[in-house]
Structure 1
Amino acid sequence: MKPVVSALNAWSCVVVSVFAIVILSIIGGLFKSNHHSMVGTTKDPDNGPAVAGSVFAAVIVYVVFLVFCGFQAFLHNRQSKRGAISLN
């Protein structure tokens, strides 16, 4: 199977996805527990767990990106070990 995206794009996507998963998981956890820093003022949303559901949906999207880009990086790594010539 051949990679769809370049190696640089695949590894960049992996790094961004991991960072987004960590940050969004922390933010979602704070909303789920109705932490005062997230729902403590009148301008913040009233229903923290509902907001947490949306944030965790974004985490799932980033997990899908991580799996896809990780697979692309794996394909590039496997292709380079075979001695294939790349014309990039």
Structure 2
Amino acid sequence: MKPVVSVLNAWSCVVISLFAIVILSVLGSLYKREHPSFTGSEGEPENGAAVAASIFAAVLVYCAFFVFCAFQAYLHVRSRRSGAISLS
């Protein structure tokens, strides 16, 4: 199987996705608990659980990006080691 994206794009996507997963998970957990020092007041936002759910949906999207890009990076590593199966 050949990689679809370049090696630089694959590794950049892996790093950015990893940071996004960590940062958005922390933000989602703070909104889920409706932490007053983070949200600014007791009543803002009105529905912290809905905000947390949308943030966690973004985390799932970044998890999919991470898996795809990590697989692309693995394919690049494997092809550089000449471990790819070729018939010629």
Q: TM-score range by the shorter chain?
A: 0.7 to 0.9
Shift of 1:37: 2.7
Q: Secondary structure at the match of 2:45?
A: coil
Q: Provide structure 1 residue ranges, at least 5 long, that are not aligned to the other structure.
A: none
1:7-86 paired onto structure 2 within 5 Å: 7-41=7-41, 44-82=44-82
Q: Provide structure 2 residue ranges, at least 5 long, that are not aligned to the other structure.
A: none
Instruction: Check the 8 A contact 1:39/1:48 in 2, yes or no.
Output: no
CA distance in 1, matches of 2:73, 2:37: 38
Shift of 1:41: 2.9
CA distance in 2, matches of 1:12, 1:57: 22
TM-score normalised by the chain length of structure 1 = 0.88
CA distance in 2, matches of 1:6, 1:43: 47
Amino acid of the structure 1 residue aligned with 2:36: H
The CA RMSD measured in Å over matched residues stands at 1.9
Structure 1 stretches of at least 4 aligned residues deviating more than 2 Å after TM superposition: 37-44
Percent identity over paired residues: 63
Q: Secondary structure at the match of 2:4?
A: coil
